[in-house]
Amino acid sequence: MAGAGDWERLARLIEDDDAVAAAVRDAVEGGEDPWEALLDGLDEAGALAYLHADDTGMELTDALAQLPRVFAAQPDLDEATDTDDLPAATRIADGVLAADGLRVVRLVEDDQSWPLVVLPEERVKDVLRATAACGQEASLGG
């Protein structure tokens, strides 16, 4: 079972904001759900795009454009707006962002929820491994 250190490492791999790691650590130590604390902390830090399975490419690109890493890169995500299929739009956006060294990672909550983060490409493998070590699921490109 993952401990506070594992969860804190995952939080720090995803987001540099110390408050996110602290929230996750506090959740573990307090017997609360660290996954929910991670998602909430990322949302509060402005690092999470939270969508639903029935959202469209337009909603995806609007949400991604608000994330600091995407905003700084200013990619042209127009191609991803042309579909109403969220998984397809997410894969397209991931491909566009990859040109800037960024990747879209879905932090799997359930079939209907699409919490997404955008990470530097060099962190993706570590985030996927750390997520699995914490007993959760994440997927590259949605």
What are the pLDDT digits (tens) for 27-82? 999 999 999 999 999 999 999 999 999 999 999 999 999 999 999 999 999 999 99
DSSP character at residue 134: T
**Amino acid identity for residue 117 in this structure:** V
Q: What is the pLDDT of residues 96-130, one digit of tens each?
A: 999 999 999 999 999 899 999 999 999 999 999 99
What distance in Å separates the CA atoms of residue 40 and residue 134, rounded to the nearest whole number?
17
Instruction: Give, for 6, the enclosing helix (H) or strand (E).
Output: helix 4-14
Please check whether residue 63 is in contact with residue 71, taking contact to mean a CB–CB distance below 8 angstroms. Answer: no
- How much is the pTM? 0.94
Q: Which residue has the tokens 């602290």?
A: 22
Matching residue, tokens 């060099």? 122
Asked if the model's pLDDT at residue 1 lies above 80, the reply is no
In which band, very low, low, confident or very high, does the pLDDT at 135 lie, cut at 50, 70 and 90? very high
> Which tokens is 133 given?
């070590």
Convert 14-26 to b/e letters by CB count within 10 Å (16 or more is b): bbebeebbebbbe
